[in-house]
Amino acid sequence: MTTAVLKKYKLVIFDWDGTVMDSISKIVNCIRHSALALNIEPPSDTAIKNIIGMSLELAIEVLFPVDVAHHPALINGYKQQYRVDTTATPVFDNVENVLSALKAQGVILAIATGKGRDGLMRLLEQTQLGLYFSATRTSDEARSKPSPDMLEQLLAELAINADEALMIGDTKIDMAMAQAANIDRIGVTMGVHSAAQLSEFSPVATVDNYQQLQRILLG
């Protein structure tokens, strides 16, 4: 963890799964179930975790390279399972406190997620966090992570320079996307990847919880 207070950013962009919401176990369960329902051997949990952040379509391509004919059924099966799976997906502790404090200081907040638009909007409504975010990008509107496309779209929409923005995410895919967009990045260790793995992409900090994040962003 880095303890120094960082410079002030005009825009802070959050990933969703594993960064705002503790949803990694649910995603793994749903991928496994969609494969088993088609009598396909599911990938390892580690392999599934390593695609989190990608669009669902790209994730299925990566995880099931020899089952091309089954890709549409795997995608539909995942979506159906996600709606009925009962694995808890709480928002991480202190998320709303940090969002509220940043917004109170005039920081613009946004989301860049591999989720589809419908899924994100449903979760923003369920969690009542939607009011904090000025803009969002999903895999339905932009090329999948690790392409910098969704970050570049957000910068353009909000008229913010790359050096005034910060990306926060839990995966190497998030870090690679931010690096490709020349945006500073913070890795959070509550989701998929460890501080050592995230540090491969030269983040300005890695943190283990939102209290640490608040300390380095707001002092």
The 10s digit of each residue's pLDDT in 140-155 is 999 999 999 999 999 9
Residues 126 and 192 in one domain: yes
Residues 107 and 165 in one domain: yes
C-alpha distance from residue 61 to each of 29, 51, 98, 153, 186 (Å): 18, 10, 36, 25, 28
C-alpha distance from residue 187 to each of 113, 134, 197, 212 (Å): 15, 22, 9, 12
Mean pLDDT of 214-218: 92
Mean pLDDT of 116-133: 94
Segments forming the whole domain that contains residue 48: 24-84
Q: In this structure, is residue 60 part of a structural domain?
A: yes
The phi and psi torsions of 111 (rounded to 5 degrees) equal: -125, 140
Residues 198 and 102 in one domain: yes
Q: Which CATH number does the domain housing residue 79 bear?
A: 1.10.150
Residues 37 and 95 in one domain: no
Residues 16 and 59 in one domain: no
Q: In this structure, is residue 6 part of a structural domain?
A: no
CA–CA gap between residue 150 and residue 171 (Å, rounded): 16
Residues 134 and 171 in one domain: yes
Residues 150 and 54 in one domain: no
pLDDT digits (tens, 9 = 90+) for 60-77: 999 999 999 999 999 999
Q: Total domain count for the chain?
A: 2
CA–CA gap between residue 26 and residue 168 (Å, rounded): 21
Residues 186 and 159 in one domain: yes
Q: Given this model, what pLDDT does residue 3 score?
A: 55
Phi-psi region of 106 (alpha: psi -120 to 50; beta: other; left: phi over 0): left
Mean pLDDT of 82-107: 94
Residues 61 and 122 in one domain: no
- Which of 32, 63, 84 lies at the terminal end of a domain, its last residue? 84
Q: Given this model, what pLDDT does residue 185 score?
A: 97
Q: In this structure, is residue 161 part of a structural domain?
A: yes
Q: Given this model, what pLDDT does residue 1 score?
A: 55
Mean pLDDT of 34-42: 95
Residues 106 and 44 in one domain: no
pLDDT category of residue 189 using cuts at 50, 70 and 90: very high
* Residue 53, pLDDT above cutoff 90: no
Q: Given this model, what pLDDT does residue 207 score?
A: 96
Q: In this structure, is residue 133 part of a structural domain?
A: yes
* Residue 161, pLDDT above cutoff 80: yes
Residues 126 and 191 in one domain: yes
* Residue appearing with tokens 């503790």: 22
Q: In this structure, is residue 2 part of a structural domain?
A: no
Entry pTM: 0.92
Residues 46 and 77 in one domain: yes
pLDDT category of residue 2 using cuts at 50, 70 and 90: low
Q: Given this model, what pLDDT does residue 219 score?
A: 82
Q: In this structure, is residue 116 part of a structural domain?
A: yes
